[in-house]
Amino acid sequence: MKDAQVYDVWEAVLPRRTALGVAPALVAAPPTGHVVLLGDSVLDNAGYLGGRGPDVVTQLRARLPAGWRATLLAKGGSVTLDVPEQLRRLSADASHLVISAGGNDAGRQEGVLGSPVRSVAEALAKIAGIREQFRRDYQAMLASVLVRRLPLALCTIYDPRFPDLARRSAAIVALGTFNDIITREAFGRGLPVIDLRLVCDEDEDFAAPAGPSVRGGGKIAAAIGQFATRHDPAARHSAIYLGDTR
């Protein structure tokens, strides 16, 4: 595993490149930057901590180089279509955007998992309908963000830690359809991805079934800091950032 924990996604970006390399495009951090966090409680995780430690944005500020800033516009409970409203408060000096969205969209549809069906095909059809709605919502959200023409990283939805293992397994399978949309949209546009399924991969990373602990928040902050200070936006290819805490 590479020390930098950055993986180029060559297969997803062949139309954007005329030649392949063997290493990710990493650049030295500029002297100043302003990272803005958008989306839901994955990034706005203070409510899960009860004052028992620093939240994601506080840990990110500690990791960024001197002269850099980090601002939290994400808000717990937000769904994908709330992100454009958060953008209204975007500072003119914002240099990098990070979005975590989709978990609450999925949570609002959890009742479908318990609804009776006559066949596996019928169950998959229901999930397909939910997936299609999320695709439209996510694309609409991205359209409002991309017009800002700022370096942007998209977060996947991590695997929840529900105590009921059957519920956990069902949620992970269902979330796969949401994560498929997120990664397709990212790779199709050559956008970096912070894969939270791999970043927060231990029970200790969670303060609640769907909320990062101080430890999990630190891992998320590490991955965001890595994206902001090391990704070359001119390269126009996707890379997956996992942080450097492993």
Cα 174 from chain centroid (whole Å): 17
Q: What distance in Å separates the CA atoms of residue 218 and residue 57, rounded to the nearest whole number?
A: 9
| pLDDT confidence of residue 128 | 75
Q: Which sequence spans correspond to the domains of the chain? A: 6-241
Are the C-beta atoms of residues 79 and 108 closer than 8 Å to each other?
yes
| pLDDT confidence of residue 43 | 98
- What confidence category does residue 130 fall into, taking pLDDT thresholds of 50, 70 and 90? confident
Indicate left, alpha or beta for 102 from its phi (over 0: left) and psi (-120 to 50: alpha).
Answer: left
- Among 189, 206, 245, 191, smallest CA distance to 222 is for 245
Q: Under CATH, which architecture does the 6-241 domain have? A: 3-Layer(aba) Sandwich (3.40)
Are the C-beta atoms of residues 38 and 85 closer than 8 Å to each other?
no
Over the stretch 40-77, which tens digit does the pLDDT of each residue have? 999 999 999 999 999 999 999 999 999 999 999 999 99
Using the predicted structure, report yes or no on whether residue 216 has a pLDDT greater than 60: yes
- Among 113, 245, 238, smallest CA distance to 176 is for 113
Are the C-beta atoms of residues 80 and 239 closer than 8 Å to each other?
no
